[in-house]
Amino acid sequence: MEIEVYRMTRKELLDILQTEKTYLAAQFGLVSIGLFGSYAKGSEGPDSDIDLLVELKDPKFDCLVGIKMHLENILGRPVDITRKRPGLSERFLKRVENNICYA
């Protein structure tokens, strides 16, 4: 069953991410997952993607792709993943920290 995310509230989306977090941790080494961008601010539109900041135990490309594919399949929306890592732009982090919601 595909979920229509555009009509979903931020809380409902975070609840789904929280539910999937255990699976994502076991399969891909997820440590943390945070929602930011238009869905976190409540300003999403019909063409909005879902912006996520993730931290991984072992930052392999295959893990990022696996998380992206799994969540896009469940949520029925494009998912844009940014990996939290040393060297990530301070400007980006300051902009994101104002509206990020962790699952």
pLDDT, one tens digit per residue, over 63-101 is 999 999 999 999 988 999 999 988 888 888 888 888 899
Stated pTM of the model: 0.87
5/36 Cα distance (integer angstroms)? 15
Confidence band, pLDDT 50/70/90 cuts, at residue 21: very high
C-alpha to C-alpha distances, 70 to 37, 56, 79, 87, 92, nearest whole angstrom: 20, 15, 10, 27, 25
Domains of the chain: 10-102 (3.30.460.10)
DSSP state for residue 28 in the 8-state scheme: H
What pLDDT is stored for residue 80 in this prediction? 96
Residue 43, class by beta-carbon neighbours within 10 Å (0-12 exposed, 13-18 middle, 19+ buried)? exposed
Tell me the per-residue pLDDT of 39-71, one tens digit each, with 9 for 90 and over.
Answer: 999 888 888 899 999 999 988 889 999 999 999
Check pLDDT > 60 for residue 2. Answer: no
**Residues contacting 22, CB < 8 A, separation 6+:** none
